[in-house]
Amino acid sequence: MSAKNKTGYTVRFAVAVCLVCSVFVCVSAVALRGRQEENKKLDMQVNVLKAAGLVKPSEDIDKLEIGKRYSSIRPVVVDMKTGLIAKDVKPADVNMRKDISDTSKSFAPSVNDAKVLRVPNYGIVYELIENDKPSMLILPVSGKGLWSTLYGFLALDYDTVTIKGVSFYEHGETPGLGGEISNSGWTDLWKGRKIFDEQFNPVFKVKKGAAGSVADDPYEVDGLSGATLTGKGVTHLVQFWTGKEGYGLFLENFRKGEI
Ligand SMILES: Cc1cc2nc3c(=O)[nH]c(=O)nc-3n(C[C@H](O)[C@H](O)[C@H](O)COP(=O)(O)O)c2cc1C
């Protein structure tokens, strides 16, 4: 083979390999999309269940078991401007994380410490149903930490005040420092503490240093050593989402039995 033919052959061979590979990648991406979506949904369900204490942090459960435990969870759509349940909107049609990038599906709150720039018009609250009544409310929360946006779920008792659990499932904070927000040793300390003071102001915060017992120090939880800034981010996001521009109006309506 001449040097010219050899080059032509190499180029044709390389192009053919590229074509075969790209077809393979495209076909697998399309074929796996359904499974990816399903895994994402299951992942979200596990995180809701973790915040509610229905899945232990170390527990690894299969799809069937997730379905069984999640069957007691009822997602409801909340109109974030009025705090009322939007009965005509289906939970499946709400994607809070996606909706905030669409100005027709979200609004700007006032400038806030959590650095939340947009609130979706419709939010989801996950209710734990026991004896046909909501016994726990699980709220999606998010806001800026030191390096990243923190995403989690905050579970409140039906009194809307007492914390039943919290889980942070996505963030980019430093492992061992801010990353400790997803350590159950820390999130367990939240249980039984209170989000609102007696006038229903959202006052719960992450302290710098150690907090007292649940009875002595109900509105604070221990800080994370070496991670004061992530802790501040957590304080701000919890206060934002339990405040009037977050789920505050919904919680107030719920408390008064108006929804
Ligand atoms: C490499 C590196 C990573 C850090 N990661 C975090 C972090 O994830 N969260 C945080 O609050 N502080 C982090 N810090 C520390 C902050 O810069 C700051 O010193 C700390 O939040 C103060 O907390 P302290 O008062 O508890 O020491 C990091 C520092 C360094 C050098």
What's the gap in Å between 189 CA and the centre of ligand 1?
Answer: 21
Which of 26-35, 96-105, 129-138, 192-201 comes out lowest in average pLDDT?
26-35
The number of the ligand 1 atom at minimal distance from the alpha carbon of 147 is 8
Residue 3 has pLDDT above 70, yes or no: no
Q: pTM of this prediction? A: 0.89
| pLDDT tens digits along 195-217 | 999 999 999 999 999 999 999 99
| pLDDT tens digits along 62-121 | 999 999 999 999 999 999 999 999 999 999 999 999 999 999 999 999 999 999 999 999
- CA dihedral 140→145→147→151, nearest 10 degrees, is -10
What's the gap in Å between 178 CA and the centre of ligand 1?
Answer: 7
Atom 26 of ligand 1 has which residue's CA nearest to it?
A: 226
| pLDDT tens digits along 152-192 | 999 999 999 999 999 999 999 999 999 999 999 999 999 99
The number of the ligand 1 atom at minimal distance from the alpha carbon of 229 is 11
The number of the ligand 1 atom at minimal distance from the alpha carbon of 224 is 26
What's the gap in Å between 3 CA and the centre of ligand 1?
Answer: 60
- C-alpha dihedral sign at 225, 178, 120, 193: negative
Task: Give the residue with greater pLDDT, 26 vs 71.
Answer: 71
158/78 Cα distance (integer angstroms): 16
Instruction: Determine contact, residues 140/80, Cβ cutoff 8 Å.
Output: no
Burial of 202 (0-12, 13-18, 19+ CB in 10 A): buried
| pLDDT tens digits along 4-22 | 678 889 999 899 998 998 9
User: In angstroms, what CA-CA distances link 226 with 48, 177, 230, 233, 235?
Assistant: 28, 6, 9, 14, 16
The number of the ligand 1 atom at minimal distance from the alpha carbon of 208 is 26
Atom 2 of ligand 1 has which residue's CA nearest to it?
A: 174
Atom 1 of ligand 1 has which residue's CA nearest to it?
A: 174
- pLDDT band for 1, please (50, 70, 90 cuts): low
Q: Which residue has the tokens 């009544």?
A: 133
Spatial CB neighbours of 30, under 8 Å, sequence gap ≥ 6? none
pLDDT value, residue 72:
98
Which residues form the pocket of ligand 1, taking CB atoms under 6 Å from any ligand atom?
146-147, 173-174, 177-178, 225-230
pLDDT value, residue 20:
93
What's the gap in Å between 146 CA and the centre of ligand 1?
Answer: 8
| pLDDT tens digits along 227-245 | 999 999 999 999 999 999 9
